[in-house]
Structure 1
Amino acid sequence: MTQALHYPTIEFNDLDAVKRALLVWDRIHRIVPAGYQPNDQPEILTAIQSGAIMNLSVDAHEKSAAAQRFLDFHYFRNSAKTLLTWPAGFSTETFTRINPEKIDAKLLPLFEQLARRLTADGFLEVPHELAGGYMFYLATSVAERRALSLTTDSSDYWAVGTYFANDGCFTEQVYDEHANTYLANLAIDDLLPNDLASIDLDQLLRFREETAELRNVFQHELELLRDEISRCNNKEHAHYIVQDFVKRFEKAKEEYRKTMSFFRKTDVCSLFSVGLPVSATIVALPTIGGGDPYDPVRIGIGLLLGAVSALATREMSHKPKSIASYLVDAERLTKTPSFLLHRKFEEFIND
C-alpha cells in the first residue's frame, strides 16, 4: 500500500487532507483525461513536480474492465431475480459531466443515448447515477490492475465508492446485528497532526524523504492486518492475528509518530478509515459473549473496529471482488468514526 489512487475527483478539494495523505503514501495518483488541464493550487503543482502526486491516463484494458463490471451491475440492478438495492442517494434528476476519453466503446452507446447534451468543451452530460457509478467502477478497475489503494477525502465519496466496490451487495436493512458478513471500518487515530496549514509543502516533502523507511514499516503492518482480518472466519484464530499485529503495530506507529515532533503536537486527528468486508466473528471479537457489532471497539492502541453496514448474503452469479478504500480524515471522525460512517451509509441507502 505504498501508492494510492485518489477518487473520484480530478482536483483535490482539501489541501490539508492531501498533506496528511502524503504522510501515509509514497505517491498519490489521479486519473486525468487527455487534453484536460486540472485547476490545481500551487502546492499541488509543487507536489506533482516532486513526483509525490502523479497524473495517469487510463488504458483500453482498464476502461474495458470498468465498462464490463458496470454493465454487469446495470444488468443485476434491473434483473427481477437479483434486484439490487438502489440507494436513495442516487435518486436524482441531476446530470454529471463525464469525459468521453474515460468511457470504453461498449458503454458509449448507452451513455450517448441517455446524455442530455454534449457540452462545448466535449463532455457528455449523463444522469448522475450512471456517471457516478461508472466513475467509481473505473477507479476500482485502475486500482486493481495497478496494485493501488483507493483513497478519498470525503465520507460521502467513501460511502458511494464502497457501495460500488462491493457491486451494490447490501441490504436495505443497513443495521442488521444478525448478518453473517459486514462492511467494517478499521480506523486509526492519534497519529497525524490535526492542522497542517502552517506547514510548508517543501518542508513536508523533505520530511517524507527522511522518514521513508519508518513510513514503509507502518504501511506494511497495516496492510498485513487488513488482508488477514478480511480473510479470517475463525474467531479463535482472529485473536492470534489481532494480538500479534497489535504488538508490532504499536511499535511501528510510535516510531513513526516520534519523527513528527516538529509538527503541531496537539489536536491529533484520525489518520484514516479503511472499509473492508469481514465476517461476523471478526466484529464480535473484542467483546465477551457477543454484542452489538456496530459499537466501535478499540482492539489495540489507536485502532478502532466497528460495522458500518450489513452485506447481503443472497447468491449472485457475479461475486463482488472488494478493494479496500481509505478515507483520509477531512471531517474529524476521531471519536466515533464507525458510527458516523454508518450514518453516512444509511443516509446514502435509505434517505
Structure 2
Amino acid sequence: MRDSILYYPHIEIQNEKWLKSAILLWDNVYRIVPASYTPKDSDEVLRACDNDLVRAVSLEKEDMSRIAQDFQDFLDGMQYKPAGLEYDEYAYLHPEKIDSTLYPTLEKYAQGESDEGFLTLPREVVRGYMFFLSTEVAKRRQLARCTDDKYSFAVSSYFSEAANFDDFLYDREAEGFYSSLIFENLLPLNIDSIPMSAVIKASENSKDEKSAFKLQLSKFSEQLYKCESIDHGKTIINDFRKDLEQAKQDLKASQGFLNKDDVGSFFSIGVPTSASVYGALLGVGGDPFSLYSFSTSMVIGAIAAYKNYKNTKSLQENPSGAAYLLFLEKEFSGTGRYPAFDRYLEEFIND
C-alpha cells in the first residue's frame, strides 16, 4: 500500500467525511486538477489543502500521450460492448484531461458539451477513461488510487483488470476471482463531527501505525494472489488473521477516535484471489460470491470470476492499478449490510 493516494474519478472532493477518513490512512490525497479549473471546495477541504494534505496533480504531456493508444486499443479490442457503455446517465469530462489524439474517439460517445465546456459522455465511459488516466498518473508518481463511490469501485475493476471478465461473471469453477477485502470498524463513522484540525493531528501522530497496517495488508494481498494450495491457504488465513487484526487495533488506538467495541465505517480493497484461497475458506462446494468473515471485523467475497487468471497481476506487481474504497454510509445495500459490488459490475456488463 502506497503512502499517498490519487482520488478518482472526480475533481472536487465533495464528501468531507471521506477526506477525513482518507487522511487517517494516507499521508496525502492527490487529485487531478486541469490548469484552467478552480475546484469548488468547502472550508474543511480548503483547510486540508492549506495543511498540504490535499495536493493538485498538474497533468503533463507524458500523462496524456501514454494513455491515448492504450484506451483506444481497449475500446477497439472489446469482443462485445458492455451495456454500461450505452447507459443513459451522463457525466462531464474536462477537455484538458483528454489527449488530442483521443478526442475524436470520445466524441463518438459524446452527447454535447456543458456551458463550461465539459464534454458530456456516458457516465461509465468517463469512469473508464478516468481509470486509464488515473492509473497512468498514479504510476508516474508512485501513488495508489482511492474513491468514495461504490459504483466506481466496482465498475473500475472491469477496466483495471483489462476486461478479463466475460458475460458469465459467476463462474464458480474459475481459477481465480477479483475480490473485495473489507475491513469493518477501522475508521470513526461519526467523523463528520470531528474537526479537521483534530483529524490532521491524529494522522500526524499515527504515521508508524498507518505504515504497519498498510504493510500487513500488502503482504496479505500478495499471498491471496499467489496461493495454489488449499492447505496452505488455511495457513495464510490463520497467520495473517492475527497480524492484520493487531495492526488494525494499533492504528485505531493511535488515532484515539474509536474504542475497542465502537462501530465504524469500512474500508475495502479490490484484490485478485486464487480459487485455492476460497477452497481454504469455504471448503468443497462453498460459494466464493458469499461474503465470508475470517475474523471479527474482516470480510472477503468475490466480485467477478476471471476469464484467465494467469493474465492477472498482483498488487505488488502493479500497485498503481490497485483500487481502494472508503465507504461511510450507515446503511448498505446488497447482502446483509454490504454494497453488492458483484451486482453493480453485473449491471454494467449485462444490464
What is aligned with 1:350?
350
| Structure 2 counterpart SS, 1:292 | coil
Residue matched to 1:188: 183
Contact kept in structure 2, 1:246 and 1:301, CA below 8 Å: no
2:150 aligns with 155
| Structure 2 match to 1:169 | 164
Note if contact 1:96-1:127 (Cα within 8 Å) is conserved in structure 2. yes
Using the TM superposition, give the Cα deviation of residue 151 of structure 1 relative to its aligned residue in structure 2, in angstroms.
Answer: 0.7
- The secondary structure found in structure 2 opposite 1:122 is coil
The one-letter code matched in structure 2 to 1:222 is: L
Q: How far is the alpha carbon of 1:71 from its aligned partner?
A: 0.9
Q: Give ranges in structure 2 of 5+ residues lacking alignment.
A: 312-316
Change (3 A) 1:309 1:15: same
Displacement of 1:271 in angstroms is: 2.8
Deviation, 1:123, is 2.7
The amino acid across from 1:65 in the alignment is: R
Report the more deviating stretch, 3-12 or 251-260.
251-260
- In structure 1, the gaps of 5 or more residues are 78-82
* Letter of the 2:225 counterpart: S
Secondary structure in 2 matching 1:74: helix
**Distance in 1 of aligned mates of 2:318 and 2:337:** 24
Query: Which residue among 225, 232, 235 is the counterpart of 1:230?
Result: 225
The alpha-carbon distance between structure 1 residues 10 and 257, as it changes in their structure 2 partners (threshold 3 A), is same
Percent pairwise identity: 33
Alpha-carbon distance, 1:13 to partner: 3.0
Task: For 1:282-293, list aligned pairs within 5 A.
Answer: 282-293=277-288
C-alpha separation between the residues in 1 aligned to 2:344 and 2:109? 29
8 Å CA contact 1:296–1:338 kept in 2: the answer is no
Paired with 2:97 and 2:18, the residues of 1 have a C-alpha distance of 26
**Alignment TM-score, normalising by the size of structure 1:** 0.87
Q: Is the 8 A contact 2:113 2:119 kept in 1?
A: yes
In 1, are the aligned partners of 2:189 and 2:264 still within 8 Å (CA)?
yes
| Residue 314 (structure 2) aligns with | none
SS at match of 1:185: strand
For residues 256 and 45 of structure 1, what CA distance do their matches in structure 2 show? 26
Q: How does 1:216-295 map to 2 (within 5 A)?
A: 216-262=211-257, 268-295=263-290
Deviation at 1:274, TM superposition (A): 0.9
- 1:301-333 deviations in whole A, cap 9, x for unaligned? 4221111111223999xxx97822111013345
Distance 1:255-1:96 versus aligned 2 partners, 3 A rule: closer
RMSD: 2.7
Deviation string for 1:50-78 (max 9, x for gaps)? Answer: 1111111222222222222211111112x
Partner of 2:83: 88
Contact 2:72 2:105 in 1 (8 A): no
What is the deviation of 1:48?
0.8
Q: 1:226 to 1:41 in 2, by over 3 A?
A: same
* Partners of 2:337 and 2:225 in 1: CA distance: 19
Find the aligned partners of 2:100 and 2:143 in 1 and give their Cα distance: 25
The one-letter amino acid paired with 2:327 is D
What is the deviation of 1:31? 0.6
Residue 55 of structure 2 corresponds to which residue in structure 1?
54
